[in-house]
Amino acid sequence: MTRPKVIVTRRWPLEVEERLAIQFDVRLNETDRPYNRSELRLALQEADAVLPTVSDRLGAELFTDNVQAKILGNFGVGYNHIDVAAAKTAGVVVTNTPAVLTDATADLAMTLLLMCARRAREGERELRSGKWTGWRPTHLCGTQVTGKTIGIIGMGRIGQAMARRCHYGFGMDVVFYDSQPVADPGMPARQLETVDDVLAVADFVSLHCPGGGENQHLINSRRLSGMKKSAFLINTARGDIVDERALINALDDGRIAGAGLDVFESEPVVPRSLTERDDVVLLPHLGSATNETRVAMGMRVIDNLTAFFEGRSPPDAVN
């Protein structure tokens, strides 16, 4: 029997690529850049399965009559870069990699929260530039996190993992918004009616909802004005949830204290009006970037492909 032809759009950890090659006829992207639109179109026309990442935009225009691929095994939990409805119409199953990146992403959200609260970026830069003049009582004093309120927007797996860290690790109170009732969030926490209710009371707001659709610019100028002036915004979810221009204006006006961002509206482009500021911590989309997690994500993609080509339902089908 011929092995299914699989196109992987970026290089993966070696052990995952090796396992993939045992089962499938694999073509890897040997370049160090994402495929462009025509390369993606061709991939969909040539392979039985395409394995994309967040850096591949798979809009409706790519799901034409010539599509041969039967499954898109997305390397990641978020899939708003794929038009899943158009994929379905073209007969293409889309899968993702839930659960395996929960802890890594929550760890990174916590990292950003602590770096913002404790002015770690400013301190590190000062020291490296040789400008540190020694200890003094009022030097780079930040914000205590113990006893403060974390507001979680989107209380799914990652939101809950972040809330657990904040509550059990750092003694914070937890409030959250989710479009669905969450009966047992796994720690003492209050579900509030609206996003605005959470923003009004939180000292730190951490975003954990999906991007795209109705969440696009969920955090807009009006909502930023509804946050405490002393509050910090943390985003490890998707860049488009925050109106970046409105965020910059809110920081300029002192309407919020700062932000920790791992995701951006037009990755990898980050506006200079963000990179030049002291009151933001910026990371290059590192949420799931641990060796262990990236291997687990790849293995999860393979599990989905294996199920599909053996005629079973892929466990993580999203359409």
Q: Which residues are catalytically annotated? A: 238, 267, 285
Q: Shortest distance, CB of residue 101 to ligand 8YV, whole angstroms? A: 5
Query: What single-letter DSSP state applies at residue 2?
Result: P
Q: In the complex, which residues of this chain contact ligand 8YV (CB under 6 A)?
A: 53-54, 75-78, 101, 105, 287-288
Looking at the Cβ atoms of 78 and 151, the one nearer to ligand 8YV is 78
Q: How many CB atoms lie within 10 A of CB 43?
A: 27
Q: In whole angstroms, what is the distance from residue 204 CA to residue 189 CA? A: 15
Q: In whole angstroms, what is the distance from residue 174 CA to residue 188 CA? A: 7
CB 50, CB 69: distance < 8 Å: yes
Looking at the Cβ atoms of 10 and 119, the one nearer to ligand 8YV is 10
Looking at the Cβ atoms of 79 and 308, the one nearer to ligand 8YV is 79
Looking at the Cβ atoms of 4 and 78, the one nearer to ligand 8YV is 78
Query: What single-letter DSSP state applies at residue 54?
Result: T
Q: Shortest distance, CB of residue 159 to ligand 8YV, whole angstroms? A: 14
Q: Shortest distance, CB of residue 141 to ligand 8YV, whole angstroms? A: 33
- Tell the residue number behind the tokens 């980050």, with chain if given: 270
Q: Shortest distance, CB of residue 291 to ligand 8YV, whole angstroms? A: 13
User: Is residue 186 packed enough to be buried (19+ CB in 10 Å), middle (13-18) or exposed (0-12)?
Assistant: middle
Structure token pair of residue 217: 């610019």
Q: How many CB atoms lie within 10 A of CB 74?
A: 26
Q: Which residue is nearest to ligand 8YV (CB)?
A: 76
